[in-house]
Chain A
Amino acid sequence: MLAQILQQLPQQLLNGLVLGSTYALFALGFTLMFGVLGVINLTYGFYFSTGAFLALYATKGLGLPIGLALPGAAVLTGLIAVLFDAALLTPLRRKKAPELASLMVTLGATLLLYTLMTALFGTEIRRLPPAVISHAAITLGDVRMNMSQILIMVTTVLIVLALLSLIRFTRLGLAMRALAENGEAAQLMGVNTDAVVWLVSFISGALGSAAGVLIGLNFNAIQPYMGETMMLKGFAVIIIGGLGDIRGALVAGILIGVLEVLTAGFISSNLKDAVGFVLLVATLWFRPVGLFGRAPVKRA
């Protein structure tokens, strides 16, 4: 029994790492939106689905290679995200509405968008053409992984590094940090806050979309509600990692992924999806600000 577990463990850990990377990849744009704009934007899951559907259309309908379909979908979805932000959230920002108003408005919009998308595309599962990515796999000892899994892990690490350097070392990053700290003060210091809000919405939408393409590629199952399922994992990831923290999203995503795979492998696959939520509730009780979070300060 123990020997068997030990023999399976490396492959299970690797599978967990890959699954965790998909969660982290998904949560990056989501946590960026919260970190800078201070809103839980529930339409984020819709960008994930949109990205996957756009890539499906580009590869199947237009016959484009994935190398073009992925950035194309990301840019288009980014623009959609800017539009939605302008229509739904900017009016509330102008009115200085309470933070829960923005959560509610995106909640309503999400319900509307998913239902419309389902009416348009139906709920059947669609697949990207098999020729899109090589199905070669590398084997190292007992461990085996395929191209799309490697692609997901590499992309996740690259995006995390890119985001962290953007925030830390560039002028835009400085403006983002200023906006996150205090919007009005940032504006008074000459930051074009509208432009920063648009850029952050664009980057987040594009990240969500890219995650949708890559994860759609890996699981090869695309349907309108894929974003909503992922969103529920996303909540767990960003709370456990700390709301708005990029490193937290990476660590929490991988933690959940690994624990889920281990639960499914050694306990019961039915309980796999409960792992993230149990961790979430435990986080709220014992370290509510999350792994990397700072205590929120309430100002009058």
Chain B
Amino acid sequence: MSAALDNFFFSYQSLIFAVGINGLLALSIYTVLAVGQLSLGQAAFMGLGAYVSALLTLHLNWPFPAVLLAAMVVPALAALLIGGPTLKLTGVYLALATIALGEILRIVCNASDFTGGALGLSGIPSKTSFTLIFSLLALVLLGFVLVARSRLGRAMEAMREDEVAAGVMGVNLPAMKMGALVVSAMLAGLAGALNAHANSFIGPNDYSFDQAVTILSFALLGGIGSPFGPVLGAIILTLLPEFLTALHDFKLVVNGFIIVVAVLFMPRGLLVWRIGRIG
């Protein structure tokens, strides 16, 4: 029994890792969507985390926990840089500026020798494990559940439904938006670092606009009523191509289709259940 289980893990290890990492990415976009904003820079934050972590491991041989921490801090700084001016304006500006961030990152990574140019970085030692990825995912989920049941969670929900009304009721809109963007950048950076140390190779085109859209489709499929929705979306969209092999070439068609259908016909996603408040 145990041998069969080992065998299963060995064959599907990268897929299982991908489920967990995509779950974290789905939660990262959830954080932004939950306050009614849209970021298309999650792939860029992920890429920043991946590159920072890979370079620290390869060149400086930092211990893994410190690497993970750095992979969260650097994207957070990028989020401050992008969020500072844009979050004061309407949501469109954040969406467009985060697209720009992704492009700048791709251009710099492609042009710089330090990041391996278009070839990317290879030979990144494998340092992640099933336990690490999924306990981090569980921890983050738990954190979100606690937040959702608190005053903070109610403020987020109020902002999402009606920003002006929430502001009038005393929700500190700029601080909430910035906080959400920074947290989401940290989560995406963490996912990027885990991904880099699970795959041994990263390249500039792994963090393209298409990847940002894919991350968005996780959250829109699952729904953002609760943090479980995006994770469910990530699980479905990661596993679906494995079961329907014919889908592989059309994976992005499916993601695009899901976004269109979700926005037009099921704005609450698959999982409509939301977490109740305490007391």
Contacts and interface: CB of A to CB of B under 8 A. Distances in A.
Interface of A: 40, 88, 91-92, 97-101, 103-105, 107-116, 119, 228, 232, 235-236, 239, 243, 268, 270-271, 273-274, 277-278, 280-281, 284-285, 288, 296, 298-300
A112 B90 contact: no
Given A277-B104, A284-B85, A285-B85, A100 B36 contact: yes
Contacts of A97: 263, 267
Contacts of A109: 256, 259-260
Main secondary structure of the interface of B (DSSP, over half): helix
Contacts of A277: 100, 103-104, 107
Contacts of A114: 252
| Most chain B beta-carbon neighbours within 10 Å: one of A101, A105, A107 | A107
A101 B97 CA distance: 17
B93 interface: yes
Contacts of B81: 281
Contacts of A274: 104, 107-108, 111
B263 A116 contact: no
- The 7 A-B pairs of least Cβ separation, nearest first, read A108-B259, A112-B256, A111-B256, A270-B111, A108-B260, A105-B263, A284-B85
A158 B82 CA distance: 36
B92 interface: yes
B253 interface: yes
Given A115-B253, A278-B104, A108 B92 contact: no
B270 interface: no
Interface string B76-108: 000001101110111111011101110110011
B260 A296 contact: no
B103 A103 contact: no
B267 A101 contact: yes
A231 B216 CA distance: 19
B38 interface: yes
Contacts of A92: 263-264
Contacts of A243: 92
Given A104-B220, A112-B256, A281 B213 contact: no
Contacts of B259: 104-105, 107-109, 111
Nearest to B261: A108
Given A88-B260, A105-B259, A112-B256, A239 B93 contact: yes
B30 interface: no
Contacts of B256: 108-113, 115
B260 A235 contact: no
Given A111-B210, A235-B96, A285-B84, 9 more contacts: A40-B96, A99-B91, A103-B38, A103-B95, A108-B213, A108-B259, A112-B256, A274-B107, A280-B97
Contacts of B36: 98, 100
Contact of A104 (B82, B90, B216): B216
A235 B253 contact: no
Contacts of A236: 100
Contacts of B108: 274
Contact of B253 (A112, A232, A285): A112
A99 B92 contact: yes
B176 to A, nearest CB: 16
Contact of A288 (B88, B95, B100): B88
B209 A228 contact: yes
Contacts of B267: 97, 101
A19 to B, nearest CB: 17
Given A109-B256, A111-B252, A270-B111, A296 B89 contact: yes
B184 interface: no
Interface in B205-263: 209-210, 213, 216-217, 220, 249-250, 252-253, 255-260, 262-263
Interface string B36-62: 111010000000000000000000000
